Structure 1
Amino acid sequence: MDVFYYALVGLLLAGYLALESVDFGIGMLLPFADTELGRARMRRTVVPLFLANEVWLVAFGGLLFGALPLLEGELLYALRLPFLVVLCAWFLRDAALWFRTAHPGVGWRRTWDTVLPAASLVLAAGWGTVLATLIRGLSTNGGGHAVADPADLAHPFTLLCEVLAVAGCLRQGSLFAAHSLPEGNALRVRFGRLTRVLTPILLVLLVLTGGVGAVVTDAPVPVVLVAVLAAAGVYGSDRVQATGRTGAALLLGAAPLAALPVMVGAANGTTVLATRSGEGSLELSQAIADSASLALLSVTVLPVLVAVVYGQLWIWRVFARVPRRLT
């Protein structure tokens, strides 16, 4: 039961990143639209979806608090700076999506058109930072607590995971935009080309991430295996997209984003908060809630999660359709 809930927490985070990768990518790609109509069209492709996608992050935080309460506190302490940056970028990204149309002024809209790609970039890179430090293992401060010091945040593996997360989101965004924009639209053609350019770049980044991850962790084989599977997903996404099945291509293309949370477990096993020295590490047996709390979660949270999955599928079926004309 302990491992099940730890894996479920990771699955929720992986699901959030896989879904939000589309939103992050669309946000970063907004400058590609050089007309007001194009920018409005790009914004409308994700506005119906991003709130539903964020439900997965809320579920992740709630289950983390309920099933692994000690881990939540230690995690927020160790990664307080990256989490603060991610939180601020999250607020700004959502504000840009909501507030852009609240005022007709040109300056107002240009401001939010600048905030949206910048905040989306920080969000993608920020999650790459958080997960890279967890994969590699944290430092330990003088009090024996796990922390992410400046050297951890600037480590080559951390930077590599940031670039991987950004590239993965860009590819997902370009793929979704090419699917969502009308036939014959110039932006659709442009994003189709960008998707093809990003595919080999992402494959190279995954090879590098697996190779460097094998060197900086104590579990080289599982880390490399996760990277290889993610690369296979990207390659399969490219092949499937060529047949016109964009939904399946998006699902497979999310593999690099989902791979990062999986690498945390692959590298550290049941050490839910790993440090390189071993001091300040937190084992699953120490972090997990008591059996009564887990039993309560089983009868309350799990049915809700099933409903969330079905609701997510319905929202994507309704709002992610290809428009027939530009309006």
Structure 2
Amino acid sequence: MEIFILAFFALGYLVLAGADIGVGMALPYLGRTPEERREVIAAIAPFFLGNEVWLVVTAGVLAGLFPKLEGELLSGNYPLVVALLLSWVTRDAGLWLRGRLTGRRWQSWWDGAIVAGSWGLALSLGGLLGGVLVGLTGALAVLPVAVLAALFGAHGLAFAALRLRGEPRRRAAALSGGAGEARTYALTASALLVVGVLAGLRLPLEPGTSGAVLVPAMLAMMPLMVAAQGWVWWTFRHRVTGPSYL
């Protein structure tokens, strides 16, 4: 049961947050003008905070139910974990601060922070997953990182094609061949799920001794998170029609 709980939250984060990470990576391509970039950001604005909750819960599950694995992942991948956290803060700072002032230079600076933070998240997550899956070292370690970062980018483009309209949607849908963005999103989501499952199968998943207390709490939380995520997706199911609060 502990393994199922960890897989549920970790895989949920990869698929859900992978979309907004990919959109941030492609922001300069999707939004060529300040107005277009605001619409692109509006595509992920209702989702990104809720998606991050899945990462927080995943970290809590690791610490509470798999303390040995958490220690091995942190000690063996300390630079990647630090890079992930710094990228997370950078990306979110860009999203929150870009709209606080109206100057072109101010917004361009924080747009750059969104792009840099999104790429940092994709590369650090790709490094963690690639290290577990392939275990390459040295220069060869770049290969799985590049492949997984490209997968995040493709997932984000498919999500953007589902959410945007006009010219930004046309750019995003180039990957989907036009109107096939739902199919492409399903394919990229499935690919991320496969990567996550394969990585999990290679990890030493040995539960700790606190499952009797934490497992019921986690099981109670899971339907609430699914319901909240479903509500957000249903509420914002329509395409973006203008800039958001960000």
Q: TM > 0.5 between the two?
A: yes
Amino acid at match of 1:187: P
For 2:238, what is the secondary structure of its paired residue? coil
Amino acid at match of 2:145: E
User: Partner residue of 2:211?
Assistant: 294
Structure 1: gaps spanning 5 or more residues: 138-150, 197-237, 273-283
User: Partner residue of 2:104?
Assistant: 106
Match of 1:255 among 190, 199, 214: 190
* Shift in CA distance, 254/155, structure 1 to aligned 2, threshold 3 Å: farther
Asked if residue 123 in structure 1 is aligned to residue 121 in structure 2, the reply is yes
User: Runs ≥4 in structure 1, deviation > 3 angstroms?
Assistant: none
Asked if residue 29 in structure 1 is aligned to residue 12 in structure 2, the reply is no
CA RMSD of aligned residues (A): 2.1
Contact 1:29 1:174 in 2 (8 A): yes
Q: Could you tell me how far 1:155 is from its partner in structure 2? A: 4.7
**Equivalent-residue separation in structure 2 for 1:177 and 1:117 (angstroms):** 15
Asked if residue 68 in structure 1 is aligned to residue 54 in structure 2, the reply is no
* Shift in CA distance, 48/326, structure 1 to aligned 2, threshold 3 Å: closer
Amino acid at match of 1:82: L
Instruction: Report the TM-score when normalising by structure 1.
Output: 0.69
Counterpart mapping for 1:195-206 below 5 A: 195-196=176-177
Q: Could you tell me how far 1:195 is from its partner in structure 2? A: 3.7
Asked if residue 265 in structure 1 is aligned to residue 204 in structure 2, the reply is no
Amino acid at match of 1:299: P
Amino acid at match of 2:172: F
Asked if residue 189 in structure 1 is aligned to residue 186 in structure 2, the reply is no
User: Partner residue of 2:155?
Assistant: 172
**In the TM superposition, what whole-angstrom CA distance separates every residue of 1:48-80 from its partner, at most 9, and x where no partner exists?**
100111111111011111111122122111110
**Equivalent-residue separation in structure 1 for 2:42 and 2:70 (angstroms):** 35
**Equivalent-residue separation in structure 2 for 1:66 and 1:116 (angstroms):** 31
Identity %: 31
* Shift in CA distance, 160/258, structure 1 to aligned 2, threshold 3 Å: farther
* Shift in CA distance, 114/322, structure 1 to aligned 2, threshold 3 Å: same
User: Partner residue of 1:148?
Assistant: none
Counterpart mapping for 1:1-327 below 5 A: 4-32=1-29, 33-137=31-135, 152=137, 154-156=138-140, 158-182=141-165, 185-196=166-177, 242=180, 246=182, 249-266=184-201, 268=202, 272=204, 284=205, 287-290=206-209, 293-323=210-240, 325-326=241-242
**In the TM superposition, what whole-angstrom CA distance separates every residue of 1:124-156 from its partner, at most 9, and x where no partner exists?**
11111011112234xxxxxxxxxxxxx72x352
Q: Could you tell me how far 1:249 is from its partner in structure 2? A: 4.5
**In the TM superposition, what whole-angstrom CA distance separates every residue of 1:253-280 from its partner, at most 9, and x where no partner exists?**
21222222211233x3xx51xxxxxxxx
Amino acid at match of 2:18: S
**Equivalent-residue separation in structure 2 for 1:109 and 1:127 (angstroms):** 27
Larger RCO (alpha carbons 8 Å, 6+ apart)? 2
Looking at CA atoms only, which structure, 1 or 2, has the larger radius of gyration? 1
Contact 1:171 1:195 in 2 (8 A): no
Instruction: Report the TM-score when normalising by structure 2.
Output: 0.90
**Equivalent-residue separation in structure 2 for 1:177 and 1:261 (angstroms):** 22
**Equivalent-residue separation in structure 2 for 1:133 and 1:173 (angstroms):** 23
Amino acid at match of 2:199: V
Amino acid at match of 2:207: I
Structure 2: gaps spanning 5 or more residues: none
* Shift in CA distance, 103/128, structure 1 to aligned 2, threshold 3 Å: same
